[in-house]
A and B are shown apart, each in its own frame.
Chain A
């Protein structure tokens, strides 16, 4: 089994087009594993000794002045919709009240509702639906009203 230049190019194209950060192709007993590093590759393990390798963090500067960050109270998978196919809890520009649910975080089938904690307008949503969020990671920016 050997690869032509074309095969390699095709695999690379596949990696480029996928939203995944890692792809594994197995055929005829040959496993090709391609990992995307660099920007946008938050879910992949970078090579050891990389120094700055903390998860998908939002720098403090990304939270606009006058806004308050709502951070993940636990680590888990984030769901921005109450269930698949339904509209999201909130979108950019939504007006939210103190006790409104903004998202759910799931840990092994146990869901935690994340409340706004203050009334205001959702200025920004930092994460994509279905991603792993880490403890303390900013998820929303809210402009209090």
Chain B
């Protein structure tokens, strides 16, 4: 493997800032592939060079695989970092990179292909002896779904095989909701992923979302960096994430970590990845959900409790330098919580709120980390996701981290756009969150209880 000396960053927003900083820290040059709408944004000012790859619409810029590879070749980049979203989990893109002699910073294309399809990933997990939720392979029709539910039992979750981000997912509690859910999930899956294939899974009502960060050197070496809890979700979108996962028996945590490493080994995993699990706290059982073959939005909480720069590790792996740590060198200390601050209006059903940031005064302190591309005067464009910043707060233990997080939120001033700050404050004030009694549907239940109270 040739050393990476110049990286094309094929993304925008806070993750572009994060990747550029990681490059510069390792003495690697950065070239940013930006849309016309992002030419004045912070990543463009930090990067060594900027190439305008197309207009604002992602379909004509950030999603154009040949254009991005062409830009990388023209600018003499050795590698492409895809960030998250856009082309980050596109095996065809990864293959195009490798075919043209540009290192794709991520897993090998074949690994992405095998793990990206949920049905194929389930099959691999089963081979590794990892528990799966009672469920099915491909479901062809609503009638067939009803047949399958006779074995699985209600409630069930209909899921898009190619899915992600909650699109193409529907809960069914009886035959009627199953039929309507089948239709809407198929339509959503087709519209979002161009593939309407669905499968069924037993739905666990009060489940926790627990995921394990893994790193693979591509030579067979796999380590894990512990687990994160991402159970605070709205419409299957993560809102708050923390590390370590609270209130789980040490034995259960060890089983989940071992399962993730086993799966990563079986897949011959290279670079950073996440193995997601559903945990039923009542029965202390865990089930495989899926593998994310990219750097994740919530990676900073793991960095804060392990002291390991995960993007830096990705760059090392891409250079063939291997991992900086062995498993026995990974130490965990303290607790970290990440809160996603989106330009959305909680008072209006979380509708997007793009616009000019009139005031931006983030909290400061030794226990605060802010990953963002925003600043006073920045125009939040309406074309992309609404993530403004990730506020990451640490503490020596979970109660301290929560208290620090509440203080930090209270001291964060953003004017000009509506944000999810009030919603985050509300969640952190709840006893259920303090007691780790929350689950993946909890935040939505909370919103329903106090509909319209948020302003």
Contacts and interface: CB of A to CB of B under 8 A. Distances in A.
B69 interface: yes
A53 B47 contact: yes
Given A48-B48, A49-B46, A134-B52, A22 B74 contact: no
A74 B48 contact: no
Interface string A109-145: 0100000000000000000000010111100000000
B29 to A, nearest CB: 4
B66 interface: yes
B62 to A, nearest CB: 12
Interface in A21-57: 22, 43-51, 53-55
Interface residues of B, number: 32
B53 interface: yes
B46 A74 contact: no
A51 B40 CA distance: 10
Contact of A53 (B48, B67, B76): B48
Say which size band chain A's interface belongs to: 20 to 34
Interface string B27-60: 0011100001001000011111111111100000
- Interface centre among A46, A49, A54, by most chain B C-beta atoms within 10 angstroms, is A54
A62 interface: no
Contacts of A137: 52
A43 B47 CA distance: 14
Given A51-B45, A75-B71, A107-B70, A45 B6 contact: yes
A108 interface: yes
A48 B29 CA distance: 8
B452 to A, nearest CB: 44
Secondary structure type dominating chain B contacts: mixed
A46 B61 CA distance: 23
A124 B106 CA distance: 44
A45 B66 contact: no
Contacts of A106: 70
A77 interface: yes
B390 to A, nearest CB: 22
Given A107-B70, A108-B66, A75 B45 contact: no
Nearest to A33: B5
Contacts of A136: 36, 52, 55
Contact of A134 (B44, B45, B53, B100): B53
A78 B241 CA distance: 46
A45 B48 contact: yes
Nearest to B53: A75
A135 B30 CA distance: 19
B24 interface: yes
A44 B5 CA distance: 13
5 A-B pairs with the lowest CB-CB distances in the bound complex, closest first: A45-B48, A108-B66, A134-B52, A132-B74, A45-B29
8 contacts: A49-B45, A53-B44, A75-B54, A76-B70, A77-B70, A106-B70, A132-B74, A135-B52
Interface of B: 6, 20, 24, 29-31, 36, 39, 44-55, 61, 64, 66-67, 69-71, 74-76, 96, 100
Interface of A: 22, 43-51, 53-55, 74-77, 106-108, 110, 132, 134-137
